[in-house]
Amino acid sequence: MSDNFYEIKGLNKYYGKFHALKDIDLSIGKGRIIGLLGRNGAGKSTLLRSMLGLLRYEGDIEYLGTDIHKLNHKLFEEVAFIPDVNSIDDRLKVKEMIEYVKGIHPRWNEEQFENLLAKSELPLDKSIKKLSKGMKTKLYLLLTLSLDTGMLLLDEPTLGLDIAFRKEFLNTILGDYFSEEKSIIISTHQVEEVEQILQEIVFIHKGKVILHEDVEKLKDSFRLVSIEGDRKDELEKAGARQITHTFGRYHGILPIDVEIEGAEYNRPGLADLFLAFTGGDDE
């Protein structure tokens, strides 16, 4: 059996003539929390859906050494998924939906469910149709995190949640779910929110994985350099990426070993690094 949960090789996905995923190679190990960062339309959701076999693609995707097509629906006993749209069936009541997932999923963990239910304050007898967007997201999270699956794929999981529950979800709930035998992939635009919990980061740009790195190692390899307003050319000469101008000073990202005299150095955030790697424009 493979040491990695996922092995993706030469993954390509076309929507008609549009090349949505380009030659993606990716390994997802065990016990990792991985961030998937990219602009709108970069291919994050397409990648996650391909990993679940929900889309047709070219290339190989293996889960624990087995082609996901061979696993078929059994894959969903191992991998839980929250899509980026609120896709829960609103024709049911909350308790009916819980009953459905509980009955159909062999990895349902009742104790985990009870804990999460207590935190979520979901009204069990209410029709899902009558829940707010945030409550629907909570219900989806509750259903998904009550499963003892090896992998958890989250595509914008905190959409519609209020700040308090978002914090609780990212700091506590996700932490309770996570273990050395599990891995989580989080695709999000709110990178600052998840930055603290991520161990690895994948930058995806125009359908290509342009970086897959350990977060700490990445942050240790670059610095956010700040310099006075009249010294922009020095930044450019040093090869700084993503040069911006705020409050009379120029800022840019430079490799850790590049020194500019009199400059201020700070540890970059993932958002800075992402912009530095993708060029900071829409092209």
Partner 1 sequence: MNNFIIQLKNDLRINKRNLINPIILFIIIDVLAILAYFIFKHNTGMSYEDLMTITMDADLGANLGEFPRLLWTTAGMGVVSFVGLIMVILSLSLNSSALNLDNFRKCEIFYRSQPISVWQYAGSRYLVGIFAPLAIMIAVGLFNLVLVIPFLAPLVGFEFLPSLHGLFSSIFIYFRSMLVLGSLSFLASAIFREKAFMKMLLFFIAVQVMFVFAHFSLDVPMVDIFGYLIKLINPLQNFTKVSGIANMESLDGVYSFLSMRNIMFNWHCLLQVISSAVFFVSGVFIYSRKEVN
| Residue 85 is a binding residue for partner 1 (CB under 8 A) | yes
| Residue 96 is a binding residue for partner 1 (CB under 8 A) | yes
When binding is defined by CB under 8 A, the residue of 54, 124, 256, 258 that contacts partner 1 is 54
Q: Answer left, alpha or beta for residue 65, where phi above 0 means left and psi between -120 and 50 means alpha.
A: left
**Eight-state DSSP code of residue 266:** E
Please say whether the beta carbons of 242 and 248 come within 8 A: no
- Interface with partner 1: number of residues (CB under 8 A): 29
Site string for partner 1, 145-184 (x = CB under 8 A): ----------------------------------------
Please say whether the beta carbons of 81 and 52 come within 8 A: yes
When binding is defined by CB under 8 A, the residue of 76, 112, 115, 197 that contacts partner 1 is 76
| Residue 77 is a binding residue for partner 1 (CB under 8 A) | yes
Burial of residue 67, with CB atoms counted within 10 A of its CB: 0-12 exposed, 13-18 middle, 19 or more buried: exposed
| Residue 214 is a binding residue for partner 1 (CB under 8 A) | no
| Residue 141 is a binding residue for partner 1 (CB under 8 A) | no
| Residue 105 is a binding residue for partner 1 (CB under 8 A) | yes
* Chain centre to alpha carbon of residue 152: 10
Here the tokens at position 78 are 């191992």
Is the Cβ of residue 104 or residue 118 nearer to partner 1 in the bound state? Answer: 104
Is the Cβ of residue 55 or residue 197 nearer to partner 1 in the bound state? Answer: 55
When binding is defined by CB under 8 A, the residue of 1, 16, 56, 196 that contacts partner 1 is 56
| Residue 88 is a binding residue for partner 1 (CB under 8 A) | yes
| Residue 136 is a binding residue for partner 1 (CB under 8 A) | no
Closest CA to 139 of 163, 104, 176, 165: 165
| Residue 103 is a binding residue for partner 1 (CB under 8 A) | yes
The DSSP bridge pattern shows strands 33-37 and 183-187 to be parallel
| Residue 72 is a binding residue for partner 1 (CB under 8 A) | yes
Applying CB under 8 A, the span of 4-12, 61-69, 102-110, 166-174 interacting with partner 1 comes to: 102-110
Please say whether the beta carbons of 237 and 227 come within 8 A: no
As a whole number of angstroms, the distance between CA 241 and CA 37 comes to: 18
**Eight-state DSSP code of residue 150:** S
| Residue 91 is a binding residue for partner 1 (CB under 8 A) | yes
247: helix, strand or coil: coil
Is the Cβ of residue 153 or residue 275 nearer to partner 1 in the bound state? Answer: 153
97: helix, strand or coil: helix
Here the tokens at position 43 are 């291919």
Residues of the shown chain interacting with partner 1 in the complex, contacts defined by CB under 8 A: 49, 52, 54-56, 72-77, 80-81, 83, 85-92, 96, 100-101, 103-106
